[in-house]
Amino acid sequence: MARGAMPETASSQACARDGAVEGAGATLRALMPESAAAAASSPVPGGFTRARFFWPMPVCIDRGDGPFVWDLDGHRHIDCLLGFGTMILGHRHPAVISAVQRQLARGTHFGATTNPERELAETILANVPGGERIVFLNSGTEATLAAVRVARAATGRVKIAKFEGGWHGWHDYLLHSFMRHAGPERQPEAVPESLGIPTAMGEVIVSLPFNHPAAFDLIRQHANDLAGVIFEGVQGSAGGLAADAEWLMQLQQTCRQAGVIFICDEVITGFRLGPGGIAGKLGLEPDLTTLGKAIGGGFPVGALAGRTDLLDLIEPNAGGDRVLLAGTFSANPVTMVAGKAQLDALLDDPVAFELLDALGERMRCGLTEAMSDAGVAGAVAGVGSLWGLHLGVEGPLRSVRSPAPNGDPTGDRLLAGYLLGEGVLMAAPVHLGFLSTCHTEHLVDEVIDAHGRALAKMKADGILG
Ligand code: PLP
Q: Identify the pLDDT of residue 5.
A: 39
Residue with CA closest to ligand 1 atom 5 = 268
Average pLDDT over residues 89-93: 98
Contact 461, 411 (CB under 8 A): no
Q: How confident is the model at residue 181 (pLDDT cuts 50, 70, 90)?
A: confident
Mutate to test the pocket of ligand 1, among 87, 167, 235 (most ligand atoms within 8 A of CB): 167
For residue 292, give the H/E element and its range: strand 288-292
Q: Identify the pLDDT of residue 223.
A: 97
Q: Identify the pLDDT of residue 10.
A: 53
- Going from the Cα of 16 to the center of ligand 1, the distance in angstroms, rounded, reads 36
Q: Identify the pLDDT of residue 404.
A: 55
Q: Is the CB of 235 under 6 A from ligand 1?
A: no
Least confident of 8-22, 123-137, 304-318, 366-380: 8-22
What's the alpha-carbon Rg for the chain, to the nearest Å?
22
- Going from the Cα of 167 to the center of ligand 1, the distance in angstroms, rounded, reads 7
Length of the chain: 465
Atom of ligand 1 nearest to the CA of 140: 12
Q: Is the CB of 84 under 6 A from ligand 1?
A: yes
Q: What 3-state class would DSSP assign to 392?
A: coil
Task: Check pLDDT > 80 for residue 53.
Answer: no
Atom of ligand 1 nearest to the CA of 142: 16
pLDDT by residue (tens digit) across 289-337? 999 999 999 999 999 999 999 999 998 776 778 999 999 999 999 999 9
C-alpha–C-alpha distance, residues 291 and 304, integer Å:
6
Q: Angle at Cα 321 formed by Cα 319 and Cα 322, nearest 5°?
A: 80
pLDDT by residue (tens digit) across 185-203? 999 999 999 999 999 999 9
Q: Identify the pLDDT of residue 6.
A: 41
Task: Check pLDDT > 90 for residue 12.
Answer: no
Mutate to test the pocket of ligand 1, among 52, 84, 136, 141 (most ligand atoms within 8 A of CB): 141
State CA 417 to chain mean position distance: 19
- Going from the Cα of 273 to the center of ligand 1, the distance in angstroms, rounded, reads 16
- Going from the Cα of 15 to the center of ligand 1, the distance in angstroms, rounded, reads 36
Q: Identify the pLDDT of residue 1.
A: 29
Average pLDDT over residues 230-243: 96
Instruction: Go through 110-144 and write b for each residue having 16 or more CB atoms within 10 A of its CB, e for each that does not.
Output: eeeebebbeebbebbbebbbbbebbbbbbbbbbbb
pLDDT by residue (tens digit) across 115-174? 999 999 999 999 999 999 999 999 999 999 999 999 999 999 999 999 999 999 999 999
Mutate to test the pocket of ligand 1, among 231, 235, 293, 432 (most ligand atoms within 8 A of CB): 293
From the CB of residue 50, how many other CB atoms can be counted at a distance below 10 Å?
11
- DSSP per-residue codes, 133-167: EEEEESSHHHHHHHHHHHHHHHHS--EEEEETT--
Q: Look at 286 and 317; give whichever has higher pLDDT.
A: 286
Atom of ligand 1 nearest to the CA of 85: 8
Q: Identify the pLDDT of residue 149.
A: 97
- φ, ψ of residue 397 in degrees (nearest 5): -95, 125
Atom of ligand 1 nearest to the CA of 84: 8
Q: Identify the pLDDT of residue 234.
A: 97
C-alpha–C-alpha distance, residues 290 and 77, integer Å:
31
Atom of ligand 1 nearest to the CA of 269: 3
Q: Is the CB of 265 under 6 A from ligand 1?
A: yes
- Going from the Cα of 293 to the center of ligand 1, the distance in angstroms, rounded, reads 8
Task: Check pLDDT > 60 for residue 463.
Answer: yes
- Going from the Cα of 267 to the center of ligand 1, the distance in angstroms, rounded, reads 6
